Amino acid sequence: MNSRFEAALRRESQAIPPIWMMRQAGRYHSHYQRLRKQHGFMELCKKPGLAAEVALGPIEDFDFDVSILFSDLLFPLEALGMGLDYDLGPPRLGFSLEMASLGRLRRMEDALPHLHFQAEAVRETRRLLPSTKSLIGFVGGPWTLMGYAVDGSHSGGLARTRDLAPSLLPPFFEQLVPLLDRNIALQLDAGAEVVLILDTAAGELSPAQWKDWVLPSLASLARSHPKRVGYYMRGGTPSHWAALHDAALPLAGIGFDSALSMPEALSHARGFVQGNFHQEHMTLDESSFRRELDRWLEPIAALKPEDRRGWVCGLGHGLTPQAREQNVRTFVKTIRERLA
């Protein structure tokens, strides 16, 4: 286990935080591009050796402290029998979820074997990963997965998903959440130290909707794996975080996007606090990038190490395909030099 990541999980004071980035293994990276020329995306995800090779690329290149399972959020929907195709670019499911198609979903016991490849990828990644590096897994958040299942994408504010939620969400989550629960357990048993619930669409809900539709399933998953799962919500507001704080869930930590300053995010701390340099800055030219990085880092560097307890340094969201590799190297180097 990486000593900095372990200290962050324990909320111990340290000068230099652990560093990792969402989508650190992805299309911006030449290592991934070389593999992608030889293999399809589904093959890279579903063959554990290839998934591990993709995951280790950014560790070897940029010296991140933490590696993450290389996979995709939508595989639980495929496991439930909805199909999944990436051949033409954006993911496409075999059918749209609605009350009439709910009966087409597999039972959890039949769906779970279709996710075993993720646990095997975690196990193989851990086997190859240096012992000084940490490893985390992930699952998609229930609301985010429902949005894809109903609307087919996250464009348009998930209007249809919202309309159907009062009637469709309870029976769908009754099948989906136990599957995610078991998938989390498989990844933890395979060697992941923490599993993140990535709820990238949940921030589009009002705080009241989030509390009614998302919080119960999040509470179930957190209490099933106390201090072993983290939660990331893109677009969360102070009202969302207040509701989460009031729920007092046994989460390992929370990820914040760039809507809050990092000092503000640290003030919401329960467990680790992951974030939150704006991902679009990673696409800038060198001088512009350094200027934005210095601007973001200045108020953080002014904090005492004890006031940064739990911080896991990274981006507000994932690296985009347009991100520059040199900016990633500069980010890691600058954080470690400025905070030493």
**Per-residue confidence (pLDDT) for residue 268, from 0 to 100:** 74
What H or E segment, with its residue span, contains residue 278? none
pLDDT at 19: 98
- Among the listed residues 130, 139, 7, 148, the one whose alpha carbon sits nearest the alpha carbon of residue 69: 139
Tens digit of each residue's pLDDT (9 = 90 or more) over 186-244: 999 999 999 999 999 998 899 999 999 999 999 999 999 999 999 999 988 889 988 99
Question: Are 320 and 279 within 8 A, CB to CB?
Answer: yes
pLDDT number for residue 178: 98
| Mean pLDDT of the chain, nearest integer | 95
Taking 80 as the threshold, does the pLDDT of residue 337 lie above it?
yes
Model pLDDT, residue 201: 92
Q: Where are the alpha helices (DSSP H) in the chain?
A: 3-9, 30-38, 41-46, 48-62, 75-77, 108-111, 116-128, 142-151, 159-190, 207-213, 215-224, 238-247, 262-267, 286-301, 325-338
pLDDT of residue 90: 83
Residue 157: what pLDDT?
79
Is the CB of residue 312 less than 8 Å from the CB of residue 8? yes
Distance CA 274, CA 199 (A): 14
Report whether 176 contacts 142 (CB < 8 A). yes
Read off the pLDDT band of 28 (50, 70, 90).
very high
Residue 87 pLDDT: 79
To the nearest whole percent, how much of the chain has pLDDT over 90?
A: 90
Q: Which H or E run includes 195?
A: strand 194-199
- Give the number of other Cβ atoms within 10 Å of residue 156's Cβ: 11
**pLDDT band at residue 72 using 50, 70 and 90 as cut-offs:** very high
More confident residue, 88 or 180: 180
The pLDDT value given to residue 173: 98
pLDDT exceeds 80 at position 154:
no
- CA dist 114 → 57, 75, 83, 117, 186 (Å): 26, 8, 11, 7, 12
Whether residue 277 has pLDDT greater than 80? yes
Q: Residue 72, SS3?
A: coil
Q: What is the pLDDT of residue 267?
A: 82
pLDDT at position 103, please? 95
Of 17-21, 188-192, 237-241, 247-251, the least confident = 237-241
Give the CA angle between residues 312, 314, 317 to the nearest 5°. 125
DSSP lists the bridge partners of residue 277 as: 315
Q: What is the mean pLDDT of residues 29-41?
A: 96
Find the CATH number of the domain harbouring 320: 3.20.20.210
User: Distance of CA 332 to CAs 20, 306, 318, Å?
Assistant: 9, 21, 15
Q: Note the pLDDT of residue 164.
A: 96
Spatial strand order in the sheet of 311-315: 66-68, 134-140, 194-199, 229-233, 253-255, 272-277, 311-315
User: 298 lies in which domain range?
Assistant: 3-338
Give the separation between CA 169 and CA 213, rounded to whole angstroms: 8
Model confidence at 273, pLDDT cuts 50, 70, 90, reads very high
- Per-residue pLDDT, 238: 87
Q: How confident is the model at residue 315 (pLDDT cuts 50, 70, 90)?
A: very high
| Residue range 86-128, pLDDT digits in tens | 877 789 999 999 999 999 999 999 999 999 999 999 999 999 9
Number of folded domains in the chain?
1
